[in-house]
Each structure stands twice: as C-alpha cells, then as structure tokens.
Amino acid sequence: MTATQDPKPTQHEIPSYLDPNNIGPYEIFLEQVERVTPYLGKLAYWAETLKRPKRILVVDVPVHLDDGSVAHFEGYRVQHNTSRGPAKGGVRYHQDVTLSEVMALSAWMTVKNAAVNLPYGGGKGGIRIDPRKYSTGELERVTRRYTTEIGLIIGPEKDIPAPDVNTGPQTMAWMMDTYSMNVGRTATGVVTGKPVSLGGSLGRADATGRGVFVTGAEAMKKMGLPMEGARIAVQGFGNVGEAAARIFHEHGARIVAIQDVTGTIYSEAGIDPAVALAHLRQSGKITGLAGTDELQRDEFWDVDCDVLIPAALEKQITLANAGRMKAKLIVEGANGPTIPAADDLLADKGVVVVPDVLANAGGVTVSYFEWVQDFSSFFWTEEEINNRLDRIMQEAFRSLWDVKERHNVTLRTAVYIVACTRVLEARALRGLYP
C-alpha cells in the first residue's frame, strides 16, 4: 500500500456479511430480542422461546393457469407463538416473499398483539408470487389451493389469517369460502378483513391507517409538533399508506410527498390523497398527478418533512438514508421498515420512532373486533368500532411512552419490554409439560 492510499475500507469494500444494511428480516427480529432481554428480569430465562417459531408450514401451491399449463408457487404459514391465544396475522402475496420474511412478520405479530393486549399469539403467511402477472381467476385458484394446504393448521380457534400486502377483502372471502367448504360449515371466524357482507367488520379497511394516525398524533403532542400544516411524507399508498395520508390530511396536515412502487411525487402546496387515489386508479401510477413534481426514487428520503410514514415493505430505512432524513418523527405503518443500525442512528439524532408493533396495530385490533363479532353474530356500528380502536391505541401509546421515559429507552424497546414480558409471563405460567 502506498502512502496516498486510504487504509480504511470504503463503503463498497465492506464484505456483505459485515454490512448492517444486509441484515435479513428474521435477524432483525433476533437483534430486537437481544436488545430487550436485559430488561426482562427473571423472564429472560424464557427468552429463547421468542427466538424460535412454534410451527412452520411450507406448502406447494400447484394451479392451472388460464393457458392450460400448471404453475407451482411456494407458500408459507408460520405460527411464531401461541402462548397468549391463537396465532393471528396476515397473508402476503409478493414475488420476493421468503421464509425468513414470513418468520419475522409472524414474530412481529406476537409482539404487536401483546403490545396492545389482544388475546392472540402471532402468525403470518405468504406466497411467493407476483400477483400483477396473474388474472383474477388464477389468483382465486392460487388462494383456494393455498387455503386448503394450510387448512391443516388454521381455524377460528387456532390461527386466523387476514390481509397484508397485495391481499384484501376478496382474498379473505375466497379463503373463508374454501375453509368453510372443507369443514362443511360456514366458518366466518377463520379469517378477518372479509367484505362487510360476509361477516367483515365496519372500519377494518381504514383501521391500520387510522391507528398510524392516532399514535402519530399522540407522539406529535408529546413532542410539541402542531398537526395543522405538519409536513408529511408517505412511502406506500396502499391499504395502510393511503388511509394514513387521508386521515392526516383530514386533520390539517400537509402531505408533501408520496412514493409507491410506480414512482415518487412531491408538492410544496400539499397533495390531496383522495385526488391522488383517483389519479392512481385511473392511470395505474402515482406519477403525473397535476400540481406535483416527480422525484427520483432515492430523493424521497431527502424531502423536508416533519413526519415520515414508511408504509410499504421492510428494510427501507437503512444506514444509506437514515442520516440524511429531515423528519423529527417516524411512524412505522409498514412492518420492519427500519434496520436496527438505522434505529440507533435515528435515536442519536433525536428522531422519535413509533415502532411498527405499536403504530400499525390498529389493523389487527379491528380484526379482533371482527372475530369477536363473528363469534357472537352481533355487529357493531362504525362509530363504536372507531371509538374502541382510538381508545385502545391511545391508552397503549400513553402507557408505553411512560415505560420509555421510565427506562430511558427508545419507544421500540419500551414496547418490546411490555409485550415480551406479557408473552413470557404466559409461557412461564403455562409451563412446559403436558
């Protein structure tokens, strides 16, 4: 080496296995468990329970395509933990779904359900498929075959799926119908997020975005950030991102940037989410909306905003962008959007992060209401649902914020302390032997 050469490795010279941005989804969860373990006292004895999913099912999903050929898709259902009740969590259709991802998503469900004190464990499912490439009929056949394959382990008292990325009420209707045919009775309680006419709950469609708003608004109050005119940037404009943007907008905040899989738009004057949604539905893309400028994908992270809402996929906030973000508050609509190293960097910068396992718990909370309504065959008004949801989310936020202050930790660690304590208390009380 000559004297002019820099002896320190540059970013691209770091071997991939040492690059914190390269961490896998389940490794992120394991790191989060490591961080909470010192706060668990005697329950740390049981911490290994959290690191091991209770049950994993990998299934082959063969279907006839419209052209007469047969395609095979890989599907998963992971039940991470059932100490506090049946497994509960969504089903994702995406071309990049992996077992590690579904394991992480199911583990985050365990933490989330305990964080808001729902009587559930955690589960999650997925199929590695790009749904944009298949017709509605093909997706129905994929869904029905997948439901039959995982029918071994799901059920209203065992494991209750729900929507996630690229799945929705129609997917849940097919799942409910297939499961019901297989068991010989109509079992509405086997999935949540169904159409309202099939035992679905009023308020479920907006529930996750509403919870993002409620927890975000609580955090803003604690931080002294006014809602009126607050600058908001949203990544992901689907079930969660669109509803969150719309509800913040309705409360006087200004949506300055939206990014989805098709592109990124920016407007200093603010974007009306309803107009953006109509444009997206009509044109198939978010870009090209009148009164907005198109940004390069990576420029989204430089947008001047007070609140950033990642509501797309995992691992979006990394060491490559966390340092340059302007937001004072991040409200995680998505599951797992922030890698642990970026979490540390944000904490050092004084950025408050409302973690996924609290911020996006509104969806599963109304799923719980739906499940209860299906069991009792007695349905509540939308006002009752929204009032109960708001109360649960506000009370959870306030008590978890107190834990954060008491232990002088991040809000994520505070949520993990409370949630993991609840899960492991149940584990310890139940004991190990039949």
Ligand X SMILES: NC(=O)C1=CN([C@@H]2O[C@H](COP(=O)(O)OP(=O)(O)OC[C@H]3O[C@@H](n4cnc5c(N)ncnc54)[C@H](O)[C@@H]3O)[C@@H](O)[C@H]2O)C=CC1
Residues with catalytic function: 124
Residue 185 burial by CB count (10 A; 0-12/13-18/19+): exposed, middle or buried? Answer: exposed
85 binds, among ligand X, ligand AKG, none (CB under 5 to 8 A by kind): none
Residue number with CB closer to ligand AKG (340 or 362): 362
Q: How far apart are CA 176 and CA 167, in angstroms?
A: 13
89 binds, among ligand AKG, ligand X, none (CB under 5 to 8 A by kind): ligand AKG
We find the least distance from the C-beta atom of residue 214 to ligand X, in angstroms, to be 14
267 binds, among ligand AKG, ligand X, none (CB under 5 to 8 A by kind): none
Choices 32-40, 76-84, 173-181, 256-264; region in contact with ligand X by CB under 6 A: 256-264
Q: Does 374 bind ligand X (CB under 6 A)?
A: no
206 binds, among ligand X, ligand AKG, none (CB under 5 to 8 A by kind): none
Choices 38-46, 233-241, 302-310, 361-369; region in contact with ligand AKG by CB under 6 A: 361-369
Q: In what order do the strands lie in the sheet with 352-354?
A: 293-295, 263-266, 254-260, 231-235, 307-310, 329-331, 352-354
Binding mask 314-353 for ligand X (x = CB under 6 A): -------------------xxx------------------
Residue number with CB closer to ligand AKG (189 or 340): 189
Q: How far apart are CA 214 and CA 296, in angstroms?
A: 30
Q: How far apart are CA 21 and CA 131, in angstroms?
A: 28
The answer to whether 124 and 153 have CB atoms below 8 angstroms apart is no
* 52-56: long-range contacts, CB 8 A cutoff, minimum separation 24: 53/78, 53/79, 53/80, 53/81, 53/103, 53/106, 53/107, 54/79, 54/80, 54/81, 54/82, 54/87, 54/121, 55/79, 55/153, 56/99, 56/103
Residue number with CB closer to ligand X (73 or 300): 300
Q: Does 192 bind ligand AKG (CB under 6 A)?
A: yes
Q: Does 363 bind ligand AKG (CB under 6 A)?
A: yes
Binding mask 302-341 for ligand AKG (x = CB under 6 A): ---------------------------------x------
Query: Which H or E element spans position 29?
Result: helix 25-36
